[in-house]
Amino acid sequence: MRVPKGKFIPTNPLCKNVLQKFMDEESADVVFEVVDNGSLQSEEHTNKKSKTTTTLYAHRFILQDVSTMLSELCKSTDSGIITTVSITDVKPETFKHMIYYAYGGKLSDEDLKANAKDIINACDKYGVDHLKLEAEATYVKSNEITTGNMMDNLLYADSKNLALLKETVMDYIVENRGDIMGKVSFSNVPGDMITDVLAAVSRGQEAGDSGANSKDYNKMRVGTLRKMLDDKGLEVDGSREAMIALLKEHNTSDDEEEEDNDNNDA
């Protein structure tokens, strides 16, 4: 719609209103007690570890669609009863970042860069997939892959299902294979990573993301696969194999539905 000159149409305030409910104690029906087991409390002549607890206020109706795990934690059988949840496996500041994101908040580049691994680990544990992928992208951008750290990054990517980081390491291995051979042991690498290696080799042989038009998913980059899944409203957090399988399954369903429509029209 074309806005007449000189007229002002305000934006929909929903996102701003939801974000304003972040940490609103008065309306909250979920209370997270986040325990920091590693804080140091100074006494006269000694430093000893002690537990400190940070209280975070939240709303069930917002968190229930963010992740299955958060939904289960916040579940209540009694309407109007405040649910108190103890969190002992994530740093308070990291958990706060995660809940803030659930309310539509945007983390700063500085916060993402400084806490990328903590955020990835927390989001992987609690199923906050989109923030996990955002932190992964920041980690890839801000950390250079080297011969010295590539194995640690590869195994970390495999353990947390970080397809973009894994792809980045694989690209590095293919590009620097001459320098790496004989210097780095691959004995700890899971055998199912061969698919990622072959994909990286294939990308190195062909210019650009040529598979995007031919529907050869195996040659596509992780970013392309994720975008295709997101455009279809499908799950974007998964291994390369899982993403390809989901796209194939969905496209098969689409083809069958289109064929049925054609038959009905006939």
The residues that bridge with 85 in the sheet, in sequence order, are 32
Residue 46: enclosing H or E segment and its boundaries?
none
The H or E element containing residue 117 is helix 116-126
pTM score of the predicted model = 0.82
The pLDDT of residue 183 is 80
Distance from C-alpha of 94 to C-alpha of 107, rounded to nearest angstrom: 11
Farthest-apart Cα atoms in the chain, separation: 88
Whats the size of the chain, residue-wise? 266
| Residue 212, pLDDT score | 44
- Residue 36 near residue 92, CB atoms below 8 Å: yes
- Rounded Cα distance between 213 and 197, Å, is 22
Look up residue 220 and give its two tokens.
């596509």
**pLDDT at residue 137 in the model:** 97
Residue 48 has φ and ψ, to the nearest 5°, of: -130, 145
The neighbouring-strand residues paired with 83 are 30
pLDDT, the chain, mean:
85
Mean pLDDT of successive 10-residue stretches along the chain, which has 266 residues: 75 93 95 82 53 93 91 79 93 97 96 97 96 98 95 94 94 88 79 76 61 68 94 92 92 59 49
pLDDT of residue 179: 86
In single-letter form, the type of residue at position 129 comes to D
**pLDDT at site 1:** 58
Count Cβ atoms within 10 A of the Cβ of residue 189 and give its class: 0-12 exposed, 13-18 middle, 19 or more buried: middle
d(CA 55, CA 238): 32
